[in-house]
Amino acid sequence: MSAPSFTKFIIKRPWLKRWMVPLANWYADAAGYRKIGLRADDLIPEESDTVMLALKRLPPKEAYDRVFRIRRAMQCSVSHTLLPKDQQTKPEEDYLYLTPYIKEIEAESRERGDLEAMVVKKRKQNKS
């Protein structure tokens, strides 16, 4: 599910981080999803089993807020309008709420795969 990321590479180099942070902020603003009240994790497609399971693990309040944001964004899209400035998502409100659950589920899946692929061999007994 997770796409390759250069985040660790960029964070380890302060000069590159100083250059990339303003660029990333500009890109997030230019993408326009904040102007219709969405957060970045609201844009993750719900088509995979991992995301569906992560959505089930969300706390009820967070799940309700997500549905509200998506419905409000759909209404803005249909009416070709943007939300007023005070209702738009601010950068400090745009945190990752679904991604930690997705990473946790992917780690569980990898661990389950490793355990299922494990081969247990019986030790030979010494005859003395």
Three-state secondary structure call for residue 19: helix
Which range scores top for mean pLDDT: 26-35, 53-62, 109-118?
53-62
Q: 59-65: long-range contacts (C-beta < 8 A, 24 or more apart)?
A: 62/97
Identify which of 91, 95, 75 has the alpha carbon closest to the alpha carbon of residue 83: 75
Answer yes or no: is pLDDT of 120 > 90: no
Q: How confident is the model at residue 118 (pLDDT cuts 50, 70, 90)?
A: confident
Answer yes or no: is pLDDT of 128 > 70: no
Q: pLDDT tens, 43-92?
A: 999 999 999 999 999 999 999 999 999 999 999 999 999 999 999 999 89
* Per-residue confidence (pLDDT) for residue 3, from 0 to 100: 65
The model's pTM is 0.77
Identify which of 38, 56, 52 has the alpha carbon closest to the alpha carbon of residue 1: 52
Q: How confident is the model at residue 121 (pLDDT cuts 50, 70, 90)?
A: confident
